[in-house]
Structures are given as C-alpha cells and as structure tokens.
Structure 1
Amino acid sequence: MFRLLGSICVLTSLLTSAPTAQAAPAAPTAEAGRLVAVTDQSYDSPSAARIRLLDPAVANWGTAAALKWTWSPTSANGFSGLTGAWGLPSDVKLRMKGTAYVAVVTDSRGLAALIGYPSGQRLWATNVGSANNPHSAELLPDGNVAVAASNGGFVRVYTASQGSASAAYVSYPLPDAHGVQWDPTRQVLWVLGGTKLAALKISGTAAAPKLTEVASVPGLTAGGHDLTPVLENHDLLWVSTGSKIYQVSKSTATIVTTLNEAGIKSINSMPNAQEVRTTPKSGCRTTWCTDTVRFDVPAATRTIPGAEIYKARVWSSRYE
C-alpha cells in the first residue's frame, strides 16, 4: 500500500439525503471526493445495469441509506435510439463543464456519453460500437470527449463540443486502449494501453482537433488497464496493469513507485489518500466483476449483494 500523507482521515459522509432513482442529493457537494461511484453491470439483463453513487461512511452498501444517486440511459433522459448500446458500464467520471457538474460515461456495449449531474440528462452521446469495447472517457477543456476503446485499439477525440449527437472524431492508434486522463498542468491527454502510457498534445480547433504524441513512460508491464489521478499529489498518476500497480510522475514521465498486485480493474484515491480499488471476485457472473469495493489506508470493504461491479470511482471532478 502507498502512504503519501502522514495523516489519514477516516471517511465521513457529506451527503445525507435519501436516495432517489435517477436523481441526486439536493446539494451535490462532490468536490470533497467522499462518495464513490461504481459501474454495476448486469451481464444477463442489460437494462438492469446502473451507475451507482454510494457513501462509504455507510457500512452496508446493500441498504437505501448508502445509495445517493443512480443512472442509466433512457428515452426520458435523452437516449432514445442508444439504449441498446448500454448494459456493461465500463467507466464513469465526475467533471465540470463551465460551472456545472457533468459526468462522462462509457459502456462496453458501445455507448460513450456526457450527461448532466445530477439531472442525468444527455448533453452528448454516440455509439462507438460494441465491437470496439469502449473502456474509458474523458472530458476535455474545449468540450470534446476522449474515448479509449480496447478492442478497437484506439483513442478517439470526439467533437462533442459541436453538438449533442456529433460523431466526428480524430483517432490515435493504441492497441488494447483502456485509459484516458486529462492533465491540466501540462495541457496533455494521458492515454494507456498494453505496455504504453503516453501523453498526447491536442492542437487544431474544437471542430477539427489534431493529436500528437509528445511523451511516453517506459517500463510498464503488459495489460495496461486503469489510469487515474492521485488526488493527494498533483504530480502523480495511478496506473494498473495485468500484474502491477504503479504511480507515475507526470512531470518526469517516469515510474516512481511499483506494487506487485495483479488483476486490478480500478485504482484511485481520495484527497485524504485513502485508496479505492476493485478486483475480480470468484463466483461473480463474469471473470472481471466483483460485488465488493476495497479501501486501503485505512482498510475497509463495502459490498453490494448481487452486484456485478467493474470499476469504482472517487466522485470528484478534479483532474489531479
């Protein structure tokens, strides 16, 4: 386990209003980064798949008290014609667009979307294609959306800034692409796939972007999977591969810490340095899911009985 801060605070809940389906707490004070969103898949019943936002301060995640918000695409929230591209949610991130909270969402069945938070209404969406297996997305400062697709072997920047259904994009080839993360300090997009972690400069215009690789990080093992910010240290990224967890310095483009831990599907940390991760659990419906989210420093677990969780995300709009 990594310990970057000398003082670790125990999680406390900042949101206490009762959960409502497709709704959020009255005051989404998300910046504290105390809540955790999970991508709860339902392999045999796609319509049951959900993004679930939960409070780690509530010990039993199987109760209504823990659930703060849920979301899935419907015709009512603007996704008519795209609900068939949903069923295996693969990532979700809270972001800000101007002064408003939004979330970027991907689903392995093809959906990439930008939605309002807490409204859940569509701001932009496209079907990347189930054969491409979208794994992660990122909101860029100009309003465009970057999408990493593992089977497609690419990172695309979609011109979401040009309209709610804009499907134009520029592509960067990246075999087994799994992660995208904006870096506001260096003004680059970090991308992860296979053994490659690279930084892309985005030039051109919002309507016609161009991608150029400007840096890469050597030394990663195969199976690059998750890429997130270390919220308690602005210079570091979390990276998980098939066999290890890394912390990578963005300023030097080098690995600074390595942990031998295999099969991590998601790894991130709260502003107080508490780590949040998911690992496949024996007996879950698929080889990549779990019903349990693990916390470290301090250690804890939270379980949703019957869930098929892929990733867990600290609910903070900060890029770093």
Structure 2
Amino acid sequence: MPTESVPGPAHGRTTPRRALLRASVAGALTALAASPAHAAGYAPRPLPAPRARQAPQTQILACDQASQSVLLLDATSAYWRSGGFDGFARVADLVPLWSWSPVDDPALDDLDTSTAWQNVSEAKARFPATGPLLLTCASGGLVAAVHRNDSTVYWATALPSGSNPHSVELLPDGNIAVAASTGGFVRVYTASQGDRSDVYAEFALPDAHGLFWDGTSGLLWALGNTRLVGLAVDGTAANPRLTAARTVALPESGGHDLAKAVGAEGGLWVSTSSHVRRLSVRDGLFVPYRDQGGIDRPTVKSVSQNPVTGQVLTVSPGAGSPCAWCTSHIRFHGPGGEEELKGSSLYKARWWTADAP
C-alpha cells in the first residue's frame, strides 16, 4: 500500500590476520601515530589525509557499544591481539583511524544524545559526490549521517522512544531511509531538504532490521522478520511515497542484516536468526555460495563483502561475549581467520570502501 509523506515528531586465540590480508590485498597500511584517546570514549575528530601507501580496502567500520562509538579501524594494525601486540589492555587505549560519537557534539544537543545514543546498532559507509558519509543509528533512537572528512552532520533525527532503529540507508536523491525493529516500520526522511528535516514516508514492516538501496533494480530493499520487501520510492525528494514492488519470503524467521554481495553472482547477503543466505535478486531465490560452510551460522548481526578482494567479514555473538547480542571478535572468510579487539562490545562491522555496505 502506498504511503504519503507526513511530518515527523520533534525532536580464544586467533589466526594471524595481517598475514591473511597481505595474501589478499596489495600493500599494507602504515602504522598509526600514537595520540591520547578521550577519557570517556572517542571525541569526534576528522580523518587525516590519506597516506600514499594506504589501502582503503583494509579499513573496517565497527559499532562498539563499550565505548558507545563508531570506530574506523585498520585491519592490518598491531592493535589486534593476534598480531602479537599485547600493549592495549582495553579498546579505549587504541587510536582508531577515525571515530565518531555524538555525545561531544554541541550541534546535536537538541536531540538529547545522552538518551538517544544508547547501544549503537548500525554503521555503514556511503560515497555520494559530496564526499564519504557515515550512516549510523542507535537503539535509543538517534539516527545520523555524518561527513567523514570533518565529522559534521549531514542530517540527524531522534526517533520516538522504543522504536529501536537498526539500519540506515542513503537514497540517490539525498534522502535517508531508517528501519526500526520494535517500531515495525521503514521510513524515508526528507534529509535532502535540511539537516533536521522531519517529514517522512512510512511503510509498515514487522521487526524491520535491514536496508539496502539497489541501484540495479531501483528498489529500496527492506528486511523484516519473515520477508524481504523491495520498496519503490516514488514522488519527489520533498514528498516521497513508498510502495511494495516485490516481496521475497524468508526460509526462516528472524531477518537481521542485509548487504550487497559482490562477484559474478551478485545479489544480496541476508542474515536470519539461524543462517546467512545469499539471494539472487533477479530470480528471487536463495542460492548456494562460496565458503558457505564457514560463513553460514546462526545469529549473525552483520555481514559485509570487500568489493576489491571478495573477502567476507561477519560479526556474531558467542560464548564468552561481553553481552548477549555483541562480541569482541570479527570473523573473516576467504581467506579465513578471526580477530579479537580486546575490551570491545561489537554489534556490527563492515568494510569501509565504496560498494561494500
């Protein structure tokens, strides 16, 4: 059913990772220069200009609920325990390539970040013509799109308490889509109209968790508890409308993450409560895939594939995790291995590079 735009409310031990990356990526990143970390997490700061030898395909974006920050990490750095460096006793001691938290940003004081920025639940990279954007949200209700180069906010809002936003997506016209699990909806906010624009179109989707804009099909794919819906976004940037154009039933319930699959097969990665599946968007069928035996596991919170190397990383809680829904480990597949970021409480992690949502 189409919807009209309405005004919104006010506001163990691991396999060495560095060696594996050298086998799949040409050139390692240079070592990070030491600088003090913020006492209560990470103060927002701009990303340094890229060094000549940097390889962006080795950068990882992570939601860390321990520091309540989004971290941009060097996958080849010595702060990973398996790299043999044991100097960091906790995640607050490391210096990421870049980090973001709204708590220290006075420009967001109107959104009550002390309440709304609780349990960061999404972090993904998008690369519009205006420069790279971090898309992020937290279960407490805050949703934001942040310019990576200077940490300024492109757009932000706070969803009503209890909505539990779980994913964010950028649309070609500059608008922002949000999936809220407890709220049971997908909204497209008119972010193109201003940094606090609160007009939105809404589509009801129980337990909405994942979002992905597919330029090939021209649809906004949204993942709910039992179905994946391809939403047509019609109308104008200032007055969008959402209509279900395609629906794919999930083989099991508990839809959670949605991301682009790369390679000749293409399609979408779909994680559920018990599996990681690969969908052929063209056929609407779930198909077998390479390294399925290692990647396919229950309760995967995020899956991301590197468009340069094809390497997949996944995040899922397990025995010994710091909380029931988070972990301090990131798993890599093709080549495989596992890394621990000691002291972290990771909910999701994704490659930070174009076309790797």
Q: State the partner residue of 2:334.
A: 297
Aligned to 2:63: 39
Unaligned runs of 5+ in 1: 1-7, 43-47
Separation of aligned partners in 1, 2:173 and 2:30: 30
Moved more, 123-132 or 147-156: 123-132
Counterpart Cα distance in 2 of 1:276 and 1:319: 11
Q: Report the CA distance between 1:295 and its aligned residue.
A: 0.7
The aligned length equals 308
Q: Determine if contact 2:122/2:167 at 8 Å carries over to the other structure.
A: yes
Could you tell me which residue of structure 1 aligns to residue 33 of structure 2? 18
Report if the CA contact (8 A) 2:304-2:356 is conserved: no
Higher helix content, 1 or 2: 2
Specify the alignment match of 2:255 in structure 1. 224
Q: Is 1:11–1:34's contact at 8 Å kept on the other side of the alignment?
A: no
Contact 1:106/1:137 (CA < 8 Å) preserved in 2? yes
Q: Are 1:27 and 2:50 matched, yes or no? A: yes
* CA deviation after TM superposition for structure 1 residue 78, in Å: 2.2
Question: Aligned-pair distance for 1:290?
Answer: 0.3
Q: 2:101 aligns with which of 67, 72, 75?
A: 72
The structure with more strand, counted as a fraction of residues: 1
1:281 aligns with 2:296: no
Q: Does the aligned pair in 2 maintain the 1:240–1:265 contact within 8 Å?
A: yes
List aligned pairs for 1:1-320, cutoff 5 A. 9-10=24-25, 12-14=27-29, 17-18=32-33, 22-27=45-50, 32-42=56-66, 48-61=67-80, 67-76=96-105, 78-82=107-111, 83-84=113-114, 85-233=116-264, 235-257=266-288, 259=292, 260-271=296-307, 272-318=309-355
In the aligned structure 2, how far is the partner of 1:307 from the partner of 1:65?
11
Distance 2:281 2:138 in 1: 28
Q: Secondary structure at the match of 2:126?
A: strand
- Measure, in 2, the Cα distance between the counterparts of 1:15 and 1:155: 41
**Uncovered stretches (5+) of structure 2, i.e. residues with no partner:** 1-22, 36-42, 82-87
- Identity over aligned residues, as a percent? 38
The answer as to whether partners of 1:289 and 1:309 remain within 8 angstroms in 2 is yes
- What is the CA–CA distance in structure 2 between the aligned matches of 1:159 and 1:13, rounded to whole Å? 40
8 Å contact from structure 1 (residues 17, 26) kept in 2: no
C-alpha contact 1:93 1:317 (8 A) present in aligned 2: no
Root-mean-square deviation over aligned CA pairs: 2.4
Which AA in structure 1 matches 2:302? S
* 3-state SS of paired residue (2:46): coil
Greater relative contact order (Cα 8 A, min sep 6): structure 1 or 2? 2
Deviations 1:213-234 (A, max 9, x none): 1112234310000000113357
CA contact (8 A) 2:137 2:165 kept: yes
Cα distance in 2 for residues equivalent to 1:182 and 1:31? 26
Contact kept? 1:17, 1:68, Cα under 8 Å: yes
Question: 1:58, CA displacement in angstroms?
Answer: 2.0
Partner amino acid, structure 2, of 1:13: A
